Amino acid sequence: MAAPLVAQKLETPQREQIGMVLGKTVYRDQLEAESTDKLTHALQYHFYTALAEAYLEKHRIRLEPTQQEFHVFAEDEPDLKKFSVTQIALMQAKLRQLERSLKTPGLSDQQRQKLEKVRNTLEDQQQLNLASFVYDLLILWKMELEIYHRYGGGRVRSLMIGFEALDANYRWLKAEEKKGRFKISDPKLLTLFYAYWTDTFSYGFLMQDQEEIRRDFLEPIWLRQARSETPVAAKKP
């Protein structure tokens, strides 16, 4: 009678753990390894994204853009001026709560359908979604700005949707690793994970000139207008 149990155990290989982030185990079979690029993105998703989302969740209230910043940044979309940052923040908080509720074990089909209907109704409000996108751009810029100041400044990378504090993010992640908030046990995967911040020619445009960084990232013209420092038209990052 024991033979089938032994065979079953042999047929179910043990998953290989390659790391941990915020107390959650990451396994090798969760990584897309068809190419180096896919493997890099998988590492970013499982480790960096989890850490960045935790940072945002902890500091979200402090990083929330002001109403004036939102209005100036969205000046090319007049319809968005009817939204308040408080309204957007509440909508996003409700969506996050709905997603958590949908992951609750033991939900009945009726409960799941009800939650999904509420979520879909919120997501179908296109203007509110556009306002939420603009809000997210601003809050992510504030997060990058804060990390830049807290972790030693340095070079900045310009991407299609904004800026990354390249050197500061690298130092932040090193500090998170030292605190034990994440660990990648495979040395090759750890090197590949950090390559996103050390191989500066792979993504975006590298900014090293401090005046350029100040003008485009630290104190962009749209921000100066929001602070009433200058009346010129805003330019988006």
Kindly list the strands in the beta sheet with 205-207, ordered across the sheet, starting from the edge strand earlier in the chain.
162-164, 156-159, 205-207
Q: What is the pLDDT of residue 5?
A: 52
State the virtual CA torsion across 219, 197, 17, 185 in degrees, nearest 10: -120
Tokens, residue 3: 């033979």
Q: What is the pLDDT along the chain (237 residues), one digit of tens a residue?
A: 555 555 555 555 788 999 999 999 999 999 987 888 899 999 999 999 999 999 998 998 889 888 888 888 877 777 777 788 887 888 778 888 888 888 888 888 888 888 888 888 777 665 677 888 888 889 999 999 999 999 999 999 998 888 999 999 999 999 999 999 999 999 999 999 999 888 766 677 889 999 999 999 998 888 887 776 444 444 454
Q: How far apart are CA 31 and CA 41, in angstroms?
A: 9
Report how far residue 143's alpha carbon sits from residue 57's, in angstroms, rounded to the nearest whole number.
Answer: 11
In 3D, which of 131, 125, 126 has the Cα closest to residue 73? 131
**Full-model pTM:** 0.77
Q: Return the domain boundaries, the chain.
A: 15-226
Q: What is the DSSP letter of 13?
A: P
